[in-house]
Amino acid sequence: MKQVNAEIIAVGTELLLGQIANTNAQWISEQLALHGINVFYHGVVGDNQKRVADSFQLAQTRSDVVIVTGGLGPTDDDLTREAFQLISGLNVVEHGPSMEKIEAYFSRQNTVMTPNNRKQARVFSGSTVIMNEVGMAPGMIVEHDQTIWVFLPGVPREMKSLMREGVLPILSQKLDQHHVIRSYVLRFIGIGESKLEHELKELIDKQDNPTIAPLAQSDGVVIRLTAKALSDKQANLLLDQTKDAILAKVGEFYYGMNEETIQHRIVSLLRSQQCQIASAESLTGGKFIEKLISVPGASQVCKGSIVCYDASVKREVLHVSNEIIDQFGTVSEECAQEMAKNVADLLQASIGISFTGVAGPDPIEGKPVGTVYIGVYRDGEDSIVRKYEFLGDRETIRQRAALKGYELLYSLLKG
């Protein structure tokens, strides 16, 4: 199989300033993978002709296909055509059908067209022009020094239309691509990235097809498996075999695949065990239950939550005893234990989970910032409470506490 390597370049200073996110590159990469085309580089460059030309020159030396988004509009800072002219020497001409479409648009709007709008109809001589059905500037495909260049507007709706209707079919034909690239994302909780990589070192060292890539994310660790094959069936078989080998080593930490989140998995387990859950949240302030109720169908398993931030709420609403608070404090194993049981009783749930601790910026009750207690109660069983010492700022500690609650709950529910 001939390997075809692609590069995506986005042009626009607004991307560098963070005013908008470069979602185009992500979407284009996904589409190219479905057509068996590797994407090796993503680039973003501001509206400066020399810098754009320099980025184009580098791409020309290393990529078989370069897809450029943005810089095709009517204003002076739309410089994509001019930059490519510097490295290619190609002439730019006005594309009649596109110009007619632009003029017709202004006529329908009863608006006088300013002269700079003619710029949007300019294309490279000899290029394959793809009419823009949802905007003005057309797309172009140009072959220069054995590299295929694709120029597209930066507006996502226009870009996607041009890619689907014109670019992808033409690329498939030109490149004679008959293989596919498919990926699985395996999701893990309760194991760090370095530990996961250590456990899988032998498999990672021998990887070829599929490739194995461990990645740390805010809600756990994932492994991305990517396979290239002649068909979906063959690619999926390769992925399944590698997945089985991975789970044979670290399956105890695995909870789902692809888009399945830990909260989706928890809702599924609660439903299958006919359990309902309630939470008592102090430092997390509802973060745990907010993630849970984001899952469709969570109402079947979620009774509700009590945000008991102040000690008076713990006493008067959750009925944590004065003796517990006076003797051990609100940030304690004993308080977390009563919070978990009492919230389950109050909201008539079979499982209660509690969070209490110190998110900062100052210590509480002599406990340092980062001290967290999480309690889990299940009807008819003794509560379990775990103490943690989290590092990070206030928000990080709160996020990590909520995630650790999911880890504890997952461990309990899967037996």
- CATH number of the structural domain spanning residue 202: 3.30.70.2860
pLDDT per residue as tens digits for the range 72-112 = 999 988 999 999 999 999 999 999 999 999 999 999 999 99
Q: Which residues pair with 355 in a beta bridge?
A: 281, 374
Please report the pLDDT score of residue 173 as a whole number.
84
A 10 A CB-CB count for 231 gives 12
Whether residue 97 sits in one domain with residue 48? yes
Can you give the pTM of this predicted structure?
0.72
Pick from 61-70, 165-174, 246-255, 359-368: least confident = 165-174
Query: What does the pLDDT read at residue 1?
Result: 47
Mean pLDDT of 109-132: 94
- What value does the mean pLDDT take over residues 324-345? 97
Arithmetic mean of pLDDT, 319-329: 97
244 in the same domain as 342: no
Domain end, chosen from 149, 175, 201, is at 175
Predicted local confidence at residue 312, as pLDDT: 96
Are both 346 and 285 inside the same structural domain? yes
User: What pLDDT is attached to residue 415?
Assistant: 81
- Structure tokens of 378? 């299940």
Q: Which of 315, 310, 319 is nearest to 281 (CA)?
A: 310
Shared-domain flag, residues 165 and 23: yes
Q: What range does the domain containing 358 cover?
A: 262-413
Of residues 262 and 180, the one with the higher pLDDT is: 262
The whole-number average pLDDT for the span 328-338 is 97
Query: What would the mean pLDDT of 168-195 be, rounded to a whole number?
Result: 87
Same domain, 193 and 88: no
Q: Are residues 148 and 112 in the same domain?
A: yes
Rounded Cα distance between 408 and 404, Å, is: 6
Instruction: Tell me, yes or no, whether 315 and 242 share the same domain.
Output: no
Mean pLDDT of 39-66: 97
Which CATH number is 150's domain given?
A: 3.40.980.10
**Pair of tokens at residue 33:** 């993978």
> Is it the case that residue 350 has pLDDT exceeding 90?
yes
Choose one of 147, 175, 203: the last residue of a domain. Answer: 175
Residues 70, 31 share a domain: yes
**Same-domain status, 150 and 236:** no
**Contact by Cβ (8 Å): 92, 81:** yes
For the segment 187-193, the average pLDDT, to the nearest whole number, is: 92
pLDDT(330) > 80: yes
Mean pLDDT of 122-128: 96
334 in the same domain as 314: yes
What whole-number distance in Å separates Cα of residue 268 and Cα of residue 101? 52
Domain boundary among 121, 156, 175: 175
Rounded to 10°, the helix 394-413/262-272 angle is 30
Give how many domains the chain has, as a whole number: 3
Cβ contact 132:138 at 8 Å: yes
Residues 204 and 127 in one domain: no
Average pLDDT, the chain: 94
pLDDT tens, residue by residue, 196-239: 999 999 999 998 899 998 888 877 899 999 998 888 899 999 99
pLDDT tens string 151-181: 999 999 999 999 999 999 899 888 876 678 8
Residues 275 and 374 placed together within one structural domain of the fold: yes
